Amino acid sequence: MNYEELMLRAITKAEKYKYTAKPNPVVGAIIVNGNEIISEGYHEKYGENHAEVNAIEQAYKYKGKKFQSFSELALICTLEPCSHVGKTGSCAQFIVKTGFKQVIIGAVDPNPKVAGRGIKILEDNNIKVEIGLFDALVEKQNKFFFYKHKNKKPYITVKIASSFDGMSHINKERVFITSESSRNDVQKIRARHDAILTGGNTLRNDDPKMDTRVDFAINQAKKILLTSKPYNNELDFFNNTSVDVFKINDLNEIIDSYKNSEICSILVEAGPKLVNAFLKEEMVDELIVYTSKKILGGKGVNWFDEDNAIENYGFKLESSYKIDTDLKEIFIKDE
Ligand SMILES: NC(=O)c1ccc[n+]([C@@H]2O[C@H](COP(=O)([O-])OP(=O)(O)OC[C@H]3O[C@@H](n4cnc5c(N)ncnc54)[C@H](OP(=O)(O)O)[C@@H]3O)[C@@H](O)[C@H]2O)c1
């Protein structure tokens, strides 16, 4: 296998961990001796070993058998090895200490704590470094992570379920607008995001859990609640995860407070007040709309005050699917 094939293998296999590694990026590392793969490692779970460390630990089992010294081997990493000492040690220092002389990197880490510093550590220690092999693929794979560091803010997705006549809900009543299949689809969208944000009215009216219920392993999202009013913190919403509560209503200030955090993506699941406030502030990157055939009629509360609101806010339709009798549409900012 050549380095291109090995990098593609590392990118493909890293994908398996996208729900458990988040909010960290997924990363793969492969160690080779010429054409022979000695070991592979992946960042499998948030807070646990980075990919390079897992690959190196595996490779030690073959030292003296398949190779004599790490200087004979090449290390392929999808993302630049980290330079900082976070939850785990610095991977770049570990690679130097292990004795590698050649490292092939997919993309440079956009995190300002790393951003070239990992590469510098390697090069300063006489390691030959190649950079940029399939970097666009690595960036696409870690879309939220790259977006957050490039834009200094998390990626914001808004999800809404709408009746056929454009309604969000009936006042003070909990109604299921869309089908069970659409609601299961929402669980997968939650699984991708690092945080789920809602407003005080939704918490009080619906008593939602807003956790992610899927049949695969995930790192549960943080929850964010915006309310200036009292709330019952024994509700299910507060179970099994950390919740940030904001009493202020300045959305820019709230979202800005995540600039230096690990949160790279926020899913807004709220009613019309908060959704429209996010749209008016032009803070939404992606809007996902599920529309059912149900009619809520006169008792319903409208999502938007005007027709074509989504287009008027500057969104364009990216894709649309049918889920049972519902329609799922994804809109993105028309840059
Ligand atoms: N169909 C769907 O997809 C869907 C999804 C979620 C919810 N819902 C429905 O939506 C209903 C509630 O909708 P809603 O529009 O009344 O409330 P909402 O959007 O869920 O929450 C609004 C509340 O958020 C807080 N907030 C903080 N900053 C704000 C800002 N800048 N702008 C606006 N609100 C801000 C305020 O809480 P305080 O007043 O507490 O300070 C405000 O009352 C629920 O009954 C639920 O059934 C529907």
pLDDT, tens only, 246-297: 999 999 999 999 999 999 999 999 999 999 999 999 999 999 999 999 999 8
Specify the ligand 1 atom closest to the Cα of 200: 40
* pLDDT confidence band for 219 (50 / 70 / 90): very high
Question: Over 80: is that where the pLDDT of 174 sits?
Answer: no
The residue contributing the CA closest to ligand 1 atom 18 is 271
User: Which alpha helices (DSSP H) does the chain contain, by range?
Assistant: 3-14, 18-21, 51-59, 91-98, 117-124, 135-141, 143-151, 180-192, 200-206, 251-256, 272-280, 309-312
Q: Is the CB of 227 under 6 A from ligand 1?
A: yes
Can you tell me the mean pLDDT for 289-317?
91
Specify the ligand 1 atom closest to the Cα of 175: 47
Write down the pTM of the prediction.
0.95
Q: Would you state the pLDDT for residue 179?
A: 95
The residue contributing the CA closest to ligand 1 atom 21 is 199
What backbone phi and psi angles, to 5 degrees, belong to 299? -80, -10
Looking at mean pLDDT, say which of 228-232, 264-268, 297-301 comes out highest: 264-268
Q: Which of 40, 52, 80, 286 is catalytic?
A: 52
Starting at the earlier edge strand, list the strands of the sheet with 195-199.
Answer: 243-246, 222-226, 195-199, 265-268, 155-162, 286-291, 326-333, 315-323
Q: Is the CB of 288 under 6 A from ligand 1?
A: no
* pLDDT confidence band for 78 (50 / 70 / 90): very high
Q: Would you state the pLDDT for residue 86?
A: 64
The alpha carbon of 202 is separated from its chain's Cα centroid by a whole number of angstroms, namely 24
Q: Would you state the pLDDT for residue 305?
A: 84
pLDDT, tens only, 178-188: 999 999 999 99
* pLDDT confidence band for 87 (50 / 70 / 90): low
pLDDT, tens only, 100-123: 999 999 999 999 888 888 999 999
| Interstrand relation of 326-333 and 315-323 (parallel, antiparallel or unpaired) | antiparallel
Return the closest-CA partner of residue 190 out of 235, 165, 169, 159: 159
Gap between the Cα atoms of 309 and 71, Å rounded: 60
From 159, 274, 290, 327, the mutation candidate for ligand 1 (largest count of ligand atoms within 8 A of CB) is: 274
Q: Would you state the pLDDT for residue 242?
A: 87
Structure tokens at 157: 């997705």
Q: Is the CB of 322 under 6 A from ligand 1?
A: no
Can you tell me the mean pLDDT for 11-30?
96
Torsion sign, CA atoms 287, 290, 295, 299: negative
Classify each residue of 136-155 as buried b or exposed e, where b means 16 or more C-beta atoms within 10 Å of its C-beta: ebbbebbebbbbbbeeebbb
Ligand 1 center to 269 CA (angstroms) = 9
276: left (phi over 0), alpha (psi -120 to 50) or beta: alpha
Q: Would you state the pLDDT for residue 88?
A: 60
The residue contributing the CA closest to ligand 1 atom 13 is 271
pLDDT, tens only, 27-66: 999 999 998 999 999 999 998 889 999 999 999 999 999 9
| Interstrand relation of 74-79 and 28-33 (parallel, antiparallel or unpaired) | antiparallel
The alpha carbon of 49 is separated from its chain's Cα centroid by a whole number of angstroms, namely 19
Q: Would you state the pLDDT for residue 306?
A: 84
Gap between the Cα atoms of 250 and 271, Å rounded: 17
Q: Is 52 a catalytic residue?
A: yes
Can you tell me the mean pLDDT for 124-133?
95
Count, residues in the chain: 335
Q: Is the CB of 251 under 6 A from ligand 1?
A: yes
Question: Over 80: is that where the pLDDT of 76 sits?
Answer: yes
Can you tell me the mean pLDDT for 220-246?
93
Specify the ligand 1 atom closest to the Cα of 290: 3
The alpha carbon of 173 is separated from its chain's Cα centroid by a whole number of angstroms, namely 32
What backbone phi and psi angles, to 5 degrees, belong to 219? -95, 115
Q: Would you state the pLDDT for residue 240?
A: 80
The residue contributing the CA closest to ligand 1 atom 14 is 271
Gap between the Cα atoms of 298 and 202, Å rounded: 20
Mean pLDDT of the chain, nearest integer: 94
